Amino acid sequence: MSFAINSKALDVGYQGVNSNITVLSGLDLKVETGRFLSILGPSGCGKSTFLRVVADLLNPLAGHLEVLGGSPYAARSRRDVGFVFQEPTLLPWRTVRDNVLLPVDVGRAKLTRSITDRSDELLELMGLTPLAKRLPHELSGGQRQRVAIARALLGEPRLLLMDEPFGALDEITRDRLNDELLNIWRQTATTVLFVTHSVMEAAYLGERVIVLAANPGRVVFDLDMTATKQPGNRCHREDSNIVQAMGTLRAALERAS
Ligand SMILES: Nc1ncnc2c1ncn2[C@@H]1O[C@H](COP(=O)(O)OP(=O)(O)OP(=O)(O)O)[C@@H](O)[C@H]1O
Ligand SMILES: [Mg+2]
């Protein structure tokens, strides 16, 4: 069995000018390759910090972390990791289409017919086709976030880190994009780590859901959803199993808050 994420006794924090803080302490987490993991936890508990250390944007203070079988640095160097940040990071001078095609310019993908077709497909999937020629400042927050998602997907990362990617969307669009994301995940062997504040979204998307608590950030609840769902991580939002799992997760989240 191979693991996309394997952390043991991992401590992560920030070294500031006046103080050092430890955000995650003794974090043990193994995520099998190809899995869809949802991550819940109260604000400030260290969800984004965890994604940052996986993406090699931050060094651990102590402990062990393997990403796709090697160091976070090696995974990043191979451009195996895609990141959709909590705040969409688009280049303001590039149009929507050119922002989506950014992985080509940074060498993560080759500009071929199939890549331009794929970028058009992703723009369509994200409902961005009519906006393709606009600049980021001409978009709403949710539209910008969808551009960032299309861009991350274009690079076809083996590991996709998503930090509350759909938080800024209306519920109908969010539900639709949840389904599109699951479709894309089913067609690829991508491992997804998906941070959300929505218990419903976590339960609907995840094959497994973990809940983190704060001070120090650690895993306090770990729910395997595979028995709750049909094969292929399929379910309906109103399935009684899912509603029940949501209740369990909400209670765990309350205890963690
Ligand atoms: N660059 C930084 N320097 C110092 N402390 C930081 C930095 N970034 C985050 N923190 C602190 O680390 C802790 C965890 O932050 P993090 O952003 O990981 O939380 P989170 O779980 O993603 O919260 P949210 O749900 O609000 O996004 C918080 O206490 C935060 O104040
Ligand atoms: Mg965060």
CATH of the domain at 168: 3.40.50.300
- The domain of 145 spans 90-156
The predicted pLDDT at position 242 comes to 96
**Chain segment 179-238, per-residue pLDDT in tens:** 989 999 998 889 999 999 999 999 999 999 999 999 999 999 999 999 999 999 999 999
Overall pTM > 0.85: yes
Instruction: Please indicate, yes or no, whether residues 35 and 57 belong to a single structural domain of this protein.
Output: yes
3-state secondary structure the chain: CCEEEEEEEEEEEEECCCCEEEEEEEEEEEEECCCEEEEECCCCCCHHHHHHHHCCCCCCCEEEEEECCECHHHHHHCCCEEEECCCCCCCCCCCHHHHHCHHHHCCCCCCCHHHHHHHHHHHHHCCCHHHCCCCHHHCCHHHHHHHHHHHHHHCCCCEEEEECCCCCCCHHHHHHHHHHHHHHHHHCCCEEEEECCCHHHHHHHCCEEEEEECCCEEEEEEEECHHHCECCCECCCCCHHHHHHHHHHHHHHHHHC
Read off the pLDDT band of 28 (50, 70, 90).
very high
- Nearest protein Cα to ligand 1, atom 18: 46
The predicted pLDDT at position 110 comes to 67
- Answer whether residue 234 is part of any domain: yes
Instruction: Please indicate, yes or no, whether residues 151 and 39 belong to a single structural domain of this protein.
Output: no
Instruction: Please indicate, yes or no, whether residues 146 and 169 belong to a single structural domain of this protein.
Output: no
Instruction: Please indicate, yes or no, whether residues 240 and 163 belong to a single structural domain of this protein.
Output: yes
> Residue 106 above 80 pLDDT?
no
- Answer whether residue 201 is part of any domain: yes
Instruction: Please indicate, yes or no, whether residues 169 and 239 belong to a single structural domain of this protein.
Output: yes
- Nearest protein Cα to ligand 1, atom 30: 44
Select the more confidently predicted residue: 230 or 114. Answer: 230
From 18, 38, 43, 49, mutation site for ligand 1 pocket: most ligand atoms within 8 A of C-beta: 49
Give the number of domains in the chain: 2
Between the CA of 50 and the centroid of ligand 1 the distance, in Å, is 10
> Residue 141 above 80 pLDDT?
yes
- Answer whether residue 85 is part of any domain: no
Instruction: Please indicate, yes or no, whether residues 57 and 162 belong to a single structural domain of this protein.
Output: yes
- Answer whether residue 72 is part of any domain: yes
Between the CA of 46 and the centroid of ligand 2 the distance, in Å, is 7
Read off the pLDDT band of 16 (50, 70, 90).
confident
The predicted pLDDT at position 19 comes to 80
Other CB atoms within 10 Å distance of the CB of residue 229: 19
Read off the pLDDT band of 99 (50, 70, 90).
very high
Between the CA of 171 and the centroid of ligand 1 the distance, in Å, is 26
The predicted pLDDT at position 63 comes to 97
Instruction: Please indicate, yes or no, whether residues 119 and 178 belong to a single structural domain of this protein.
Output: no
Pick from 18-32, 107-121, 190-204: least confident = 107-121
Instruction: Please indicate, yes or no, whether residues 210 and 149 belong to a single structural domain of this protein.
Output: no
- Answer whether residue 57 is part of any domain: yes
Instruction: Please indicate, yes or no, whether residues 64 and 97 belong to a single structural domain of this protein.
Output: no
Instruction: Please indicate, yes or no, whether residues 62 and 168 belong to a single structural domain of this protein.
Output: yes
> Residue 107 above 80 pLDDT?
no
The predicted pLDDT at position 2 comes to 95
Residue at which a domain ends, from 102, 122, 156: 156
Instruction: Please indicate, yes or no, whether residues 175 and 75 belong to a single structural domain of this protein.
Output: yes
Q: Among residues of the chain, what percentage have pLDDT more than 90?
A: 79
The predicted pLDDT at position 168 comes to 84
- Answer whether residue 76 is part of any domain: yes
Instruction: Please indicate, yes or no, whether residues 197 and 221 belong to a single structural domain of this protein.
Output: yes
Residue at which a domain ends, from 156, 187, 208: 156
- Answer whether residue 219 is part of any domain: yes
The predicted pLDDT at position 189 comes to 85
